[in-house]
Amino acid sequence: MAYSWFKAFHLIGVVVWFAGLFYMGRLFVYHAEASLQPEPAKSILKSQYELMEKRLYNIITTPGMYVTVVMAIGLISTEPEILKSWWLHAKLGLVLLLIGYHHYCKGIMKKLAKDECQWTGQQFRVFNEAPTVLLISIVLLAVFKNNLPLDLTTWLIAALVVLMAVGIQLYARKRRLDKEKQEQVSTETATIATSAE
């Protein structure tokens, strides 16, 4: 019974942690792109994103990480035999990378707040794909355990996921370029109209 309770809250922690990580990545994109806005929009947007990032990190993302890890310790202490499985060792390696990513986000938050971060919105979009890759790998390991299939079907699914991620990046890029083109046309039209007057 205790094992099921630990597992239930382990999964709840995972959902909360990832909701926070994914939203952090999005906020970083908006925060970086706010620097391209003219004043006073730039300062207003940047201080708003700074506040949202801080609250998200402290109230959702970090507690999500702690619930996940504490419940995982509960799972292992209830069934210590699990520690002998190779899938858990592999999973722990990936979880360490995830915890590293989590703390790296804090560093980015601080740099953005001090206006010292040189990353573009596009770079943050790519950075935001890292937790997706880790999520898929960790869940596959947790579900298939020692029987993780490494056959053609698995590689096809992996290729599909990569294609989807690349597709999303390309679509976002196209939308950004279209928007920039539209803004350029409106500026040129306004300049022509002013000089014609």
**Residues that bind ligand HEM in the complex, under the rule CB under 6 A:** 7, 10-11, 14, 68-69, 72, 75-76, 82, 91-92, 95, 98, 135, 138-139, 142-143
Of all residues in the shown chain, the one whose CB is closest to ligand HEM is 72
Least CB distance from residue 142 to ligand HEM, whole Å? 4
* Residue 111: how many other CB atoms lie within 10 Å: 13
- Closer of 49 and 57 to ligand HEM (Cβ): 57
Least CB distance from residue 164 to ligand HEM, whole Å? 18
Q: Which residues contact 24 (CB under 8 A, 6 or more apart)?
A: 53, 56, 57, 61, 105, 109
- Closer of 93 and 107 to ligand HEM (Cβ): 93
- Closer of 52 and 90 to ligand HEM (Cβ): 90
Least CB distance from residue 135 to ligand HEM, whole Å? 5
Q: How far apart are the first and last CA of the chain?
A: 80
Q: 62-94: buried (b, 16+ CB within 10 Å) or exposed (e) per residue?
A: bebbebbeebbebbeeeeeeeeeeebbeebeee
Crossing angle of helices 130-144/152-196, nearest 10°?
Answer: 160
By the 8 A CB rule, do 32 and 117 touch? yes
- Closer of 58 and 77 to ligand HEM (Cβ): 77
Least CB distance from residue 132 to ligand HEM, whole Å? 10
